[in-house]
Structure 1
């Protein structure tokens, strides 16, 4: 069994994913998404760019990382020769080598917790494998001579995530065992080419316990429970498989508001399913998770059970001003490329309620350097409708307006006037209505009220892939896919706004009528 740094990285994010990578049926995996493939290409490009920018004069093993045993031998030989930099090298250790240096205490404690005995035959098959981006020579003492190596990992992320720190510590420990001395530091180079140094005093100990947990899970074949986390699971190839299991079990993670921490609290109360959440009294639930959360979860379950939307119990139907409306309204949505930090499409649907017409206008940067041009076009266009409210879904649109305004020196008065017209429907939804859905994304809500996108495979991530492919191929059909998807985002926002306005008004009228009848 190979316990790789890639498996450990996934374990830190989702232990079930690591388990499935070893024991799952490959036929149950989803096809790899275009966006994930794009990220992998960009990560490799980022590594090459960093190496070039820093003029690393590297050596590398003659064989690829697919042949990890021979690659490890050649990597160690390069370390023995004392080359300045090693690229695409690998490190590997048997379980016996790992245990001999670290001792058995952590592993034995974990095995005792699980009351399992692992045969020496199984242990003899376990190998730990690390693949740091670079190994850099520095002065010091090691079994190779008056030098030692430190690991550098080059990552596409903008911040030093815990899983990056875990792997950095794992690489340092592996390197320490092989060269006879643990490096004093381990380094990350992130998206902006900025350096981050890992506190190994903290992370080496933390890493050893995480590795032991992962080790026990894999050798004992302890399959972790399903938990659907919308953001974390979205790019995982096992999402479809896990989601089917969660649906069949009526798993609580499918209920909006049930976070991993709240799920632990619910489990302590013996609440492990939707049915058991329905049965528990709200007061008892509130004692564990807080009364506001308990009320929210109870309403969410009631909405799902009845398959109908409910007014949130904390929302003041009578005294809250209704959603703004106008004779002309604008519905706004953005498509952005995070790698290039470019907003390449600003889409606006103009709805003229007096004339009963609607028209979609798109400000599209056919190349990233056109971003400033489409920003000005957008400003000029919205200025044509100075009294029109601008509806959008999420804070991203507001944040983007602020970013573009700063970047292109837009007068503060212009930005302030523009933002004063923005109406975030996501905020309206979350404060006023409980929907019978598993997610409060625009797509989930719009689908529930009957709106469907023309591009069935369309998504924000897919739009980014289409734009990336457009830049490479200049195939205008890709631009048409982007425009179609963005237009439907705008139309879905309009559909949601109209539904919300009608629903809240009808509920308000019903409440007023009920109140008046009770007074009589």
Structure 2
């Protein structure tokens, strides 16, 4: 049986992905998204940047000819080459072939099969965090290296983007590696696919996503409910609560004492199952009634002569805010106008930030609606970065209205996620480019920088404008929901 670092990494993220990679129908895989291909390109660029001042050798062999690659690597190790890039290590361990391709082998003093030298290793990652799953992979490479050279290196490293070397605690990671290897081999030797589970944090870039999502959607799988984590789902499974109907009818008190629940979470999950089952919105606990509803609308969801709807586009790998989009809604004249503040050059970040400030101060009393805290966090970040006078920023902050916070306070919605797209689409809004998303916007901006093709910037602006219009659509729906439900109560 063959074991690779990629198998272990994927198993740690999703045992179903590891199984499908080994046994699934490759025809059902999704094509790599533009954003995923950008990540591959960024990773290759990161490798080139780190290696540009290093002298190294690389084993040369035909693609897929792993035995030859392993032999060429051994030749370089026997010669005592100082640095070897992407060596091929093959080791037989407990009847399993371990194929290891760490990024760098670094020569150091010590005793090994080769003489009075040995090798330690580095794994180059685009990430800035030493995730446990990456540390397990380093331990995997180290175990294979020890088998090949007949000696254990005392240390091994992750080489992180902009952070440099991170020393992995091998004594802590090797027992964890043994557990992961056992679990992975067991999963791969199974006869049936592991159960589907849609995780919002891990599934988006997986090439099996649409295959798994179609199954989950057909089954009305509970993982599609907001708030159903893997831990909570495991507890529900133990009690045979695996359908929307069962969860919707379950008294929250029955779930309150389960690990990871509590009464609030149990109530929220049962309500979420109910609205999803019947595809209808229900008022959340604490919904404002009577006189409270008018006060709530005035204070939390104000309707003003001029309203601004704000959305940002950023490039995290460059730590860059390249677009501030604002939809101006003029209720007096019944008009809507979109304004963009776009840095077509990364050096213009400060210029577009200051232009955005100038614009919002043209309407000093207008509420600024946005979705999630990111926009306010970014305003504070840019103000600090560019030394913006306090009087230019602090009076703005009370004008910001986070519609995500209000939506979750006001209503339980039949959506798979309380993200902007899920909510707005359920409320009847859609984007002109149905495939556009934040990751795609990042890809478009990278393509603009490399090609200067105007269509990429145009696509970003259209997407951002639609995000602003979706935010406006949500605000209007929420106002109607509060007013309509309160009127229904009065009529009854």
* TM-score normalised over the length of structure 1: 0.90
Contact kept, 8 Å, 1:35 with 1:462, in 2: the verdict is: yes
Name structure 2 gaps, 5 residues minimum: none
- Give how far 1:512 is off: 4.8
Aligned equivalent of 1:271: 241
Measure, in 1, the Cα distance between the counterparts of 2:240 and 2:138: 38
Instruction: Please give the secondary structure, in 2, of the residue aligned with 1:230.
Output: coil
Measure, in 1, the Cα distance between the counterparts of 2:98 and 2:63: 14
Decide whether aligned partners of structure 1 residues 383 and 164 sit closer, same or farther in structure 2, where only a CA change above 3 A counts.
Answer: same
Select between 234-243 and 275-284 the one with higher mean Cα deviation. Answer: 275-284
Aligned equivalent of 1:409: 387
Aligned equivalent of 2:86: 88
- Give how far 1:272 is off: 2.0
- Give how far 1:65 is off: 5.6
Aligned equivalent of 1:321: 296
Aligned equivalent of 2:444: 466
Measure, in 1, the Cα distance between the counterparts of 2:63 and 2:4: 12
- Give how far 1:396 is off: 1.2
Q: Say whether residues 1:294 and 2:266 are aligned partners.
A: yes
Aligned equivalent of 1:4: 4
Aligned equivalent of 2:373: 395
Measure, in 2, the Cα distance between the counterparts of 1:238 and 1:317: 45
1:130-153 CA distance string (max 9 Å, x none) = 111101111111111111111101
Instruction: Please give the secondary structure, in 1, of the residue aligned with 2:41.
Output: helix
State the 4+ residue runs in structure 1 displaced beyond 4 angstroms. Answer: none
Aligned equivalent of 2:66: 68
Name structure 1 gaps, 5 residues minimum: 100-122, 515-520
Measure, in 1, the Cα distance between the counterparts of 2:179 and 2:364: 60
Aligned equivalent of 2:362: 384
Q: Say whether residues 1:247 and 2:225 are aligned partners.
A: no
Instruction: Please give the secondary structure, in 1, of the residue aligned with 2:56.
Output: coil
Contact kept, 8 Å, 1:65 with 1:89, in 2: the verdict is: no
Superposition map of 1:191-340 within 5 A: 191-288=161-258, 289-318=261-290, 319=292, 321-322=296-297, 323-340=301-318
Contact kept, 8 Å, 2:330 with 2:336, in 1: the verdict is: yes
- Give how far 1:204 is off: 0.5
Contact kept, 8 Å, 2:245 with 2:277, in 1: the verdict is: no
- Give how far 1:354 is off: 1.0
Measure, in 2, the Cα distance between the counterparts of 1:412 and 1:259: 41
1:450-508 CA distance string (max 9 Å, x none) = 11110122111111111111111111111111111110000000000011011112223
Select between 373-382 and 267-276 the one with higher mean Cα deviation. Answer: 267-276
1:177-233 CA distance string (max 9 Å, x none) = 111122111101111142211111110011011011101211234522110012211
Q: Say whether residues 1:479 and 2:457 are aligned partners.
A: yes
Q: Say whether residues 1:457 and 2:435 are aligned partners.
A: yes
Choose from 75, 87, 90 the match for 1:77: 75
- Give how far 1:298 is off: 1.4
Measure, in 2, the Cα distance between the counterparts of 1:223 and 1:306: 30
Instruction: Please give the secondary structure, in 2, of the residue aligned with 1:321.
Output: helix
Contact kept, 8 Å, 1:65 with 1:90, in 2: the verdict is: no
Q: Say whether residues 1:15 and 2:40 are aligned partners.
A: no
Choose from 106, 125, 128 the match for 2:98: 128
1:254-281 CA distance string (max 9 Å, x none) = 1111111111111122212223323433
Instruction: Please give the secondary structure, in 1, of the residue aligned with 2:478.
Output: helix
Measure, in 2, the Cα distance between the counterparts of 1:370 and 1:468: 15
| Aligned-residue RMSD, C-alpha | 1.5
Instruction: Please give the secondary structure, in 2, of the residue aligned with 1:227.
Output: coil
Instruction: Please give the secondary structure, in 1, of the residue aligned with 2:431.
Output: coil
1:311-332 CA distance string (max 9 Å, x none) = 1124344536221232100000
Instruction: Please give the secondary structure, in 2, of the residue aligned with 1:229.
Output: coil
Select between 277-286 and 442-451 the one with higher mean Cα deviation. Answer: 277-286
Superposition map of 1:112-123 within 5 A: none
Contact kept, 8 Å, 2:91 with 2:99, in 1: the verdict is: yes
Measure, in 1, the Cα distance between the counterparts of 2:245 and 2:65: 50
Superposition map of 1:326-365 within 5 A: 326-365=304-343
Contact kept, 8 Å, 1:307 with 1:436, in 2: the verdict is: yes
Instruction: Please give the secondary structure, in 1, of the residue aligned with 2:314.
Output: strand
Contact kept, 8 Å, 2:249 with 2:270, in 1: the verdict is: no
Measure, in 2, the Cα distance between the counterparts of 1:222 and 1:167: 26
Instruction: Please give the secondary structure, in 1, of the residue aligned with 2:201.
Output: helix
Decide whether aligned partners of structure 1 residues 247 and 494 sit closer, same or farther in structure 2, where only a CA change above 3 A counts.
Answer: same
Q: Say whether residues 1:49 and 2:21 are aligned partners.
A: no
Measure, in 2, the Cα distance between the counterparts of 1:299 and 1:280: 10
Instruction: Please give the secondary structure, in 2, of the residue aligned with 1:417.
Output: helix
Instruction: Please give the secondary structure, in 2, of the residue aligned with 1:287.
Output: coil
Aligned equivalent of 1:38: 38
* TM-score normalised over the length of structure 2: 0.95
